[in-house]
Structure 1
Amino acid sequence: MPKVKTNRSAAKRFTKTGSGKFKRSKSGSNHFTGKKESNRIRNLRKSTLVSDADTPKIRKILPY
């Protein structure tokens, strides 16, 4: 059985935590930020976890 290749685009977007969950950055902070509240922009800088429904898909494309 050959080795499974890591999806490189996903590897740049997600990082695995110590407990095996996946961390991701929030969307919506690149442009059109002038109309958004500063409080909202500040919260978009924080990272969050991938939802439980999407975790199996991420685990499949990031096997290592």
Structure 2
Amino acid sequence: MPKIKTHRGAAKRFKKTGSGKIRRFKAYKSHKTGKKSPKRVRNLRKGTLISEADLKRMSKVLPY
């Protein structure tokens, strides 16, 4: 069987953790931050894990 190609767009946006979970970054922080509270913008900087519902699908686009 041939190797599975990694989806390059997803590879730039998501990273696999050591335990095999997938880390993502939050949306809505690139612009129009003047009307958002400093606390909200600060919390948007932090990464988070993708939901369990999306894990199977994301594992297919990020096989390695």
Identity of aligned residues (%): 61
Tell me the matched-pair count. Answer: 64
More helix by share: 2
**Shift in Å, 1:2:** 1.1
Match of 2:45 in 1: 45
Gaps of 5+ in 2: none
Match of 1:15 in 2: 15
C-alpha distance in 2 between matches for 1:13 and 1:59 = 13
Match of 1:6 in 2: 6
C-alpha distance in 2 between matches for 1:55 and 1:14 = 12
* TM-score, normalization by structure 1: 0.97
The runs of 4+ residues in structure 1 deviating greater than 3 Å are: none
